[in-house]
Amino acid sequence: MSDTLIMTGRSVRLSRRNVDALIMAMALPVMLLLIFVYFFGGAINTGTEYVTYVVPGVLLLCAGFGSASTAVAVTEDLKGGVIDRFRSLDIGGTPILAGHVLASTARNLIATALVFALAFAIGFRPSAGPGGWLAAIGLLVAYIAALSWLSATVGLLVKSPEAAGGFTFFVSFLPYPSSAFVPTDTMPSWLQGFAAHQPVTHVIEAVRGLLLGQPVGSTGWVALAWCTGILAASVAASGALFKRRTA
């Protein structure tokens, strides 16, 4: 456990100094929120204030973007000799990857706080009680951790930081065919099936419901199951891949 803490400290220091990526990770959520609310929001009818509808979507979109940089961090590690040094100190793959994932989670939570602050300033009025807030934040953390570990796994699969960057593209687009920005029933029917069942939709619906104080029913559990499932599969796959890549 304390190896993980030391490695988290390392990853936090490294991300703090990657100023370009950090500015991007903070500026993108802010810009996206403003773009969706002021550029597109007026044309979209969701039955509620659009800012209130769209905040969970923006949060998840940015969580995807922010988590994906874990892939780049992992490939950078593999490119140099530092992993060999950790291994010769008897540090396994899990603490190294967990360090990156925890640092990514911390980074993303700062971006999330930024989005909430701005959203409040431009009219976001959730009606959740303390329990709802806690559950929503908890679900966001689970989503961020799952995507970060998935992206660490991708980082072990690809050969270059450039290829790892491609994953950013994939996860940043995943929220579009979902209920993140528009209700899914406005989409063509062949897309509705995918949009209604993909994990991002469940997480968004659950977070939105929790923040608005609406009953979320089973959606919350389904969302949590997706997150823990992705996390567990990623932890297992990354363990095996780490051994293969470093042998």
Partner 1 sequence: MPDAPAIEATGLRKTYGKVEVLRGLDLAVPRGTVHALLGPNGAGKTTTVRILATLTEADAGSARVAGHDLRTERARARRAISLTGQFAALDEMQTGAENLRMMARLTRTHGGARTSRAAARTRAAELLDRFDLADAADRLVRTYSGGMRRRLDLAASLVGQPEVIFLDEPTAGLDPRSRQELWSVVRELSARGTTVFLTTQYLEEADRLADRIAVLHGGELVAEGTSEELKRRVAGQRLDVVLTDPAAYLRLVSQAVYSEPETRTLGFLTDGGAPQVRALLDALDPDGTVIERFSLHTATLDDVFLTLTKPAHQEPSHV
**Is residue 85 involved in binding partner 1 (CB under 8 A)?**
yes
Q: Tell the residue number behind the tokens 């063509």, with chain if given.
A: 188
Regarding 1 and contact with partner 1 (CB under 8 A), the answer is no
Q: Which stretch binds partner 1 (CB under 8 A): 10-18, 104-112, 178-186, 193-201?
A: 10-18
Residues 6+ apart with CB under 8 A from 73: 11, 14, 15, 100, 104, 155
86 binds partner 1 (CB under 8 A): yes
Burial class (CB in 10 A: 0-12, 13-18, 19+), 246: middle
Does position 121 bind partner 1 by CB under 8 A? no
Residue 81 in the binding site for partner 1 (CB under 8 A): yes
**Interface segment toward partner 1; rule CB under 8 A; list 5-13, 45-53, 148-156, 215-223:** 5-13
* Candidate residues 10, 92, 128, 213; the one interacting with partner 1 per rule CB under 8 A: 10
User: For residues 172 and 217, what is the distance between their CA atoms, to the nearest angstrom?
Assistant: 27
Task: Quote the CA–CA distance of 106 and 84 in Å, as a whole number.
Answer: 26
CB nearer partner 1, residue 2 or residue 189:
2
For residue 89, state whether it binds partner 1 (rule: CB under 8 A): yes
Q: Binding segment for partner 1 among 51-59, 79-87, 114-122, 154-162 (CB under 8 A)? A: 79-87
Instruction: State the residues that interact with partner 1 by CB under 8 A.
Output: 2-3, 6, 9-10, 13-14, 17-18, 80-82, 84-91, 246-247
